[in-house]
Amino acid sequence: MQVKAVVLLSGGLDSSTVLYQALQDGCECYALSFDYQQRHRRELEAAAAIASAAQVKEHQVITFDLRQWGGSALTDNNLDLPSDRSLGEMSQNIPITYVPARNTIFLSFALAYAEAAGAERVYIGVNALDYSGYPDCRPDYIQAMQEVFRLGTKQGREKEAIAIVTPLINLKKTEIIQIGNQLGVPWEQTWSCYAGGELACGVCDSCRLRFAAFEELGLEDPILYAQR
């Protein structure tokens, strides 16, 4: 019987690769995206496009508002996005683009969805080697959340816990792109920019990490940038 999987899908490079990996793994995929009134809500268009291209079983968008709490440049327009930073600068501290407890919120929704749908796995595109170094993208965090999945659900107590699957957690961005190329991820439909404009800004941390990886591989990033 085909394994069911809930896949967290932002529409970005990493989450799109994870969705295609889950399909490659033979899963019946249920994509889950979040509209939390983020500055870069343009990514939701990309998520819808990727979900359609991948022909997922179902794609749901959960809507809530994190702007009322702020605490991140992605949810508070009064905070400036970091720009034109070198990779070395990005690696020094957890940046202002960190959204407090975001992956805990996302995984909680994914867990509820997975248990209700009878899914055995939740796929998430966290990456511990990314220069942003978000605390909720690291192996010890995922291990702790896996225990929550076991202890906090009927399925976890009575059967086998829903598994958190993190195919990219120890990969460099270049390696992720190489895997995505093998899987046929349509990069032109993905979106990584934090700024939320019609074109990718080219100067935020996410843009710089993305096109630096394509450049290192000698590949052309197919999305359009306002500046490079």
Measured CA to CA, the distance from residue 50 to residue 220 in angstroms comes to: 19
Mapping DSSP to helix (H, G, I), strand (E, B) and coil, where does residue 109 land?
helix
Q: How confident is residue 13, by pLDDT bands cut at 50, 70 and 90?
A: very high
* The pLDDT value given to residue 90: 75
Question: Which tokens go with 88?
Answer: 């070395």
Architecture of domain 4-216: 3-Layer(aba) Sandwich (3.40)
The answer, yes or no, to whether residue 136 has pLDDT greater than 80, is yes
Q: Model confidence over 86-118: pLDDT tens digits?
A: 777 777 788 999 999 999 999 999 999 999 999
* The pLDDT value given to residue 85: 82
The answer, yes or no, to whether residue 124 has pLDDT greater than 80, is yes
Is residue 43 within 8 A of residue 19, CB to CB? The reply is no
The answer, yes or no, to whether residue 121 has pLDDT greater than 90, is yes
Domain ranges of the chain: 4-216
Q: Model confidence over 164-210: pLDDT tens digits?
A: 999 999 999 999 999 999 999 999 999 999 998 889 999 999 999 99
Percentage of the chain beyond pLDDT 70 is 99
Is residue 162 within 8 A of residue 156, CB to CB? The reply is yes
Q: Model confidence over 142-158: pLDDT tens digits?
A: 999 999 999 999 999 99
* The pLDDT value given to residue 92: 77
> What distance, in Å, lies between the first and last C-alpha atoms of the chain?
47
Average pLDDT across the chain, whole number: 94
Question: Which tokens go with 155?
Answer: 């399925």
User: What's the rounded mean pLDDT across residues 109-137?
Assistant: 93
* The pLDDT value given to residue 131: 63
